[in-house]
Amino acid sequence: MNHPFIQGGVPDVCARCRRKEIDHTSLATCEACPYVGMCDLYPPPHGVILLCPTCLQKEYDHQSPDKQEARVLHSRAVSEAQIALSREIDSSIISRADYFNAETVAISELKKIIDSDETIARKDYALYMEVRTRYDKFKAKLIEAEEVRLEIINNIKADQTYLNNLVSSLTKEEQEKYRVKDINYKPNEVKVVKPKESSGKTNLSEVKELAKEHGIAPEIIQNLCLAFKLTPLKAVVKYKEMMSTVTTT
């Protein structure tokens, strides 16, 4: 011990360090290993743990500026790699199957990664930015998926119309083969599950955000929502579809 035992008001308790008298002698026991002998408190001057000379030196080495910097750099590298992997997974998600098959990093896991990074000061803000980035990517994917869905429906309708026009050129045997009873035959339409109809009411903040993102006046999105009872997202898709029709006409 770096000071002698000083008897205080409590029997067998040092008035300076609040440790027993034996901890100040060669019979002291290291609290990090089985060593028995002269020990000292860490961190000085009073400390919270009694260590032998070997363990004390290890602790000093561990807390050296070089070792601390190395641990910080390692922590930063690990968290950056984990967050980069999360972003890569999110970017690779294209279809619904991808979403459920991919090992998407949970928000709770992202929070653990960020909380463990000693180099990040504003952890709540860092987590917000990561989740917001994921949210924006998924929302963009949803718009793309809706556009693809509408394109497929239009292709089906075009093929159906063409098939109807070809019926009259088939022979009776061919019509029978394909179960065509008359020239007005129509193939069974593909049943498309329609989402729940919107009331047309809009969330102004969502409308403004979509308008800014897609370069569409907010009033146009609101009017389409009211006219066709659409959600703001579907209104954006509807507007793009209408503009595409005008352009190709």
Which of 41, 63, 85 delimits the end of a domain? Answer: 63
45-54: pLDDT as tens digits: 667 899 999 9
Band (pLDDT 50/70/90 cuts) for residue 231 is confident
- Which residues, at least 6 apart from 34, have a Cβ–Cβ distance to it below 8 Å? none
Looking at the structure, do residues 57 and 118 belong to the same domain, yes or no? no
Percent of all residues in the chain with a pLDDT value above 70, rounded to a whole number: 74
The pLDDT of residue 100 is 40
Q: For residues 32 and 49, is the Cβ–Cβ distance under 8 A?
A: yes
Domain that holds residue 100: 68-138
At residue 81 the predicted structure's pLDDT band, cuts being 50, 70 and 90, is: confident
Q: Which has the closest alpha carbon to 141: 95, 187, 192?
A: 95
Q: What span, in angstroms and rounded, lies between the C-alpha atoms of 18 and 5? A: 10
User: CA-to-CA distance for 21 and 24, rounded, in angstroms?
Assistant: 5
Do both 48 and 106 map to the same domain? Answer: no
Residue 144, in any domain of the structure: no
Q: Specify which residues 42 forms β-bridges with.
A: 49
Show the CA angle centred on residue 75, arms to residues 90 and 33, nearest 5°. 135
Q: How many domains does the chain have?
A: 3
